[in-house]
Structure 1
């Protein structure tokens, strides 16, 4: 079932989605040039469907993710931006898929496991040790028993993934996988934290790419950031630059040096003028 929410409505269902999205709909409606804010609601997921999903993949979903899908089997929120009086385009988008649409990425496990076990791979801190760990550069400890689930795909250059490092994991983390380089970027400690990140970024297009190592926002998306929420772009640019500097350290800055050979031409010219004078 899909329907459009109204901020003025006070039904229990609308109150639930307003609380779930932290009143994002009302906030977006108050931003200049943002129009047609629409929320597509879904029926709750059955407990048997959750049990079937867990048995199929031999995992246990975290409690916050279970509670989410027992309340709503995903949802979609989108909004439009008015570029001109007669030019309105849909740009904002938040989508949490149906539970059964969350797919297992089998092809990536062995490939990424091989890259992690290479001699040059750096081992990240254990999942139970969170002291003095820079989570922005935290890498998953993958093995052939790990489970990687795709939550969303971004422009065919990245995927938002829910990772169970082992079958016994009860606190899976959410990472961004850059498909061209097979690099991981940590996004969230939990499903709830990722939901709040989506809300904090207002559903701006491809916001996850702000945290990527090699991928960048399209220029038109950057313009939307500057018009709607420039503070997010500034903050995320600082995060991206720090990530890239750590993953790809820059060479020492080389300043211009004076090349003395440029003066030889002047000396030759002086010799030629002396010969002519003689």
Structure 2
């Protein structure tokens, strides 16, 4: 009985953590193997140790999240040709895996070797005003960046502290997406908003690219139009009002409709009058030839 109560209690916590998304996924057509990884709550001392080590204060909502579960992983697959193919993945790294994006320079590294800091401009950007886009993070000491999700190799979702000074504890943080071209894209001002975005987009491949000018790949858009049609159409209308020319706009009713047979016109046989006229003309020509001889 105690084990049953514990399982029910954990299911209640899992439902609150996932906002009931597991049941929604299980009811979607073709979805299979929905898995939610169980994680114990993080200890307060591990959170304090992380803050002291990185000279940063975790946001209050993120601290409460880690005190509930030390990381988050939910995956789901689709059934293609009687085989489960992994598709969706929602992930938030645990405290131990919340590592800096820019690792310290090794003593064995070449002195003139290029680094990500070389991508930044030398002058510091001014703070963004009202109505302006947020200032992008820097790869040098002005920003402290930590990985929340590796996005399956399609980029990185990062917890970013900007306007940092050496030896000063950073407190204000934001959530940014670093794409494969090493360009920054703003996602949300706090962890709670980002968590809702991740759940809403069902962890579909490349969903973070919705917030980039280039957008997701055509294959990712096809998956989004299948499993997330309402949100996909709204985002598509905001980014491209004329529609997306990269998607195949296929109408099954027209594509698989049987083709009607087009009657082939038959050649009409020559009429009797035409035969007579031809014979008459040939005969006249023969008589004319004989008369000449």
Q: TM-score higher than 0.5 here?
A: yes
Report what 1:252 is aligned to. none
CA deviations over 1:209-239 (Å, ceiling 9, x no partner): 221234x434332221121112333333455
Report what 1:245 is aligned to. none
Unaligned runs of 5+ in 1: 1-8, 243-278
Q: Does the Cα contact within 8 Å between 2:25 and 2:31 map onto a contact in 1?
A: yes
Q: 1:93 to 1:24 in 2, by over 3 A?
A: same
Out of 85, 89, 92, which is 1:93 matched to? 89
Q: Does the Cα contact within 8 Å between 1:105 and 1:149 map onto a contact in 2?
A: yes
Larger radius of gyration: 2
Report what 2:195 is aligned to. 195
How many residue pairs get aligned? The number is: 223
Out of 51, 55, 65, which is 1:58 matched to? 55
Report what 2:248 is aligned to. none
Report what 1:45 is aligned to. 42
Task: State how far apart, in whole Å, the 1-side matches of 2:240 and 2:115 are.
Answer: 27
C-alpha RMSD of matched pairs (Å): 2.9
Task: State how far apart, in whole Å, the 2-side matches of 1:202 and 1:168 are.
Answer: 35
1:174 and 2:175 matched: yes
Shift of 1:22: 0.9
Shift of 1:183: 1.9
Out of 129, 135, 138, which is 1:139 matched to? 135
Shift of 1:114: 6.0
Task: State how far apart, in whole Å, the 2-side matches of 1:178 and 1:146 are.
Answer: 17
Task: State how far apart, in whole Å, the 1-side matches of 2:156 and 2:238 are.
Answer: 19
Report what 2:289 is aligned to. none
Report what 1:205 is aligned to. 205
Task: State how far apart, in whole Å, the 1-side matches of 2:219 and 2:87 are.
Answer: 10
Report what 1:226 is aligned to. 225
Q: Does the Cα contact within 8 Å between 1:139 and 1:184 map onto a contact in 2?
A: no
Q: 1:155 to 1:42 in 2, by over 3 A?
A: closer
Q: What secondary structure does 1:187 align onto? A: strand
Task: State how far apart, in whole Å, the 2-side matches of 1:223 and 1:101 are.
Answer: 32
Unaligned runs of 5+ in 2: 1-5, 105-113, 242-293
Task: State how far apart, in whole Å, the 2-side matches of 1:50 and 1:97 are.
Answer: 13
Which range moves more in the overlay, 20-29 or 45-54? 20-29
Q: Does the Cα contact within 8 Å between 2:136 and 2:185 map onto a contact in 1?
A: no
Task: State how far apart, in whole Å, the 1-side matches of 2:135 and 2:154 are.
Answer: 19
